[in-house]
Amino acid sequence: MKEARVEPNGVTFVGVLYACSHAGLVEDGRKIFASMINEHNITPKHEHYGCMVDLLGRANLLREAVEIVETMPFAPNVVIWGSLMSACQIHGETELGEFTAKRVLELEPDHDGALVLLSNIYAKERKWQNVGDLRQLMKERGISKERGCSRIELNNEVHEFLVADRNHKQAYEIYEKLNEVVSRLKLDGYAPNTGCVLVDLEEEEKREVVLWHSEKLALCYGLINGAKDSCIRIVKNLRVCEDCHTFLKLVLKVYRREIIVRDRTRFHHYRDGVCSCRDYW
């Protein structure tokens, strides 16, 4: 745009700051935000501050993100508090996460994400009474946690999988394949990461829950039915968890299959031993 002498506007900066956030370009984001004010005389709005909070939060610069929220010239909205809340969830900041979730609920009492995050925080701290109270509250208000769902298309047919799904006509073969894949990956150092299982279960049960995530089942269906040199494409409605992300990278390494996963926030293109997100999502 500079070369073409086209003057950027507020929408331009939302796009660029958002891109910086998802690419982890913190210093670039800081400079661009400053240039918007100092060079282009554009007054930042909620969406610009939201992008900066998201940028800093993703990079685990939570103190700086909080400073932006506290020094904004107007009150933060649900989106800004939600960005900070999500960053706390990703980086395991329970105290700040609880604080931000409560701020979200002050503005939007039925915000399912904030209620689920609070429930997860209490589960991590093993405060099962608090977890039970929150889940009862959600039940009374008719609020439910969105279930993980993954879809894969093969031969012009879409196949959908939920967590621990056994309804597919090839369920037996899929779980057999999953056992085979896990056994091979363990030789490369894979161990299920049970940190994302926030229910009161024994450790062995947690490992099973992690291994039965919907994208793993969709992947195994693709390994069984897709051509050996074909790319496996999966769409998921939620953010890919850390365990599944590691799992997919190892499948790429061991089985030498190109994999593309579109989760709630971005594409993950597993190729040549790495993911396009550079483990930053």
Domain ranges of the chain: 10-141, 149-275
Residue 279: per-residue pLDDT: 82
Task: Give me the torsion for CA of 133, 137, 142, 145, rounded to 10°.
Answer: -50
Residue 34: per-residue pLDDT: 96
Helical H runs in the chain?
10-23, 26-38, 46-58, 62-71, 78-91, 94-107, 112-124, 128-141, 171-186, 203-211, 214-225, 242-255
How many residues would you count in the chain? 281
Residue 272: per-residue pLDDT: 78
- Looking only at the bridges linking them, the beta strands covering 267-271 and 259-262 are antiparallel
Q: Which residue has the tokens 């999502």?
A: 281
| Cβ neighbours, 10 Å, residue 139 | 10
Give the global pTM: 0.76
End-to-end, the C-alpha distance of the chain in Å comes to 27
- Extract the tokens encoding 86: 């999500």
CATH number for the domain whose boundaries are 10-141:
1.25.40.10
**Rounded distance between C-alpha atoms, residue 149 and residue 169, angstroms:** 17
Residue 176: per-residue pLDDT: 97
Cβ partners under 8 Å of residue 220, min gap 6: 174, 175, 177, 178, 181
- What is the sign of the dihedral through the CA atoms of 204, 210, 214 and 220? negative
Rg (CA), the chain: 21
DSSP state of 72: -
- Extract the tokens encoding 37: 């004010």
**Rounded distance between C-alpha atoms, residue 53 and residue 59, angstroms:** 10
User: Can you list the residues of the chain whose pLDDT is less than 70?
Assistant: 194-206
- Extract the tokens encoding 232: 């496996």
| Cβ neighbours, 10 Å, residue 151 | 17
Residue 20: per-residue pLDDT: 94
**Rounded distance between C-alpha atoms, residue 5 and residue 25, angstroms:** 24
Residues 111, 91 contacting (CB under 8 angstroms):
no
- Looking only at the bridges linking them, the beta strands covering 232-236 and 259-262 are parallel
Residue 204: per-residue pLDDT: 66
**Rounded distance between C-alpha atoms, residue 190 and residue 243, angstroms:** 9
**Rounded distance between C-alpha atoms, residue 260 and residue 253, angstroms:** 14
Beta-bridged to residue 153, according to DSSP, are 158
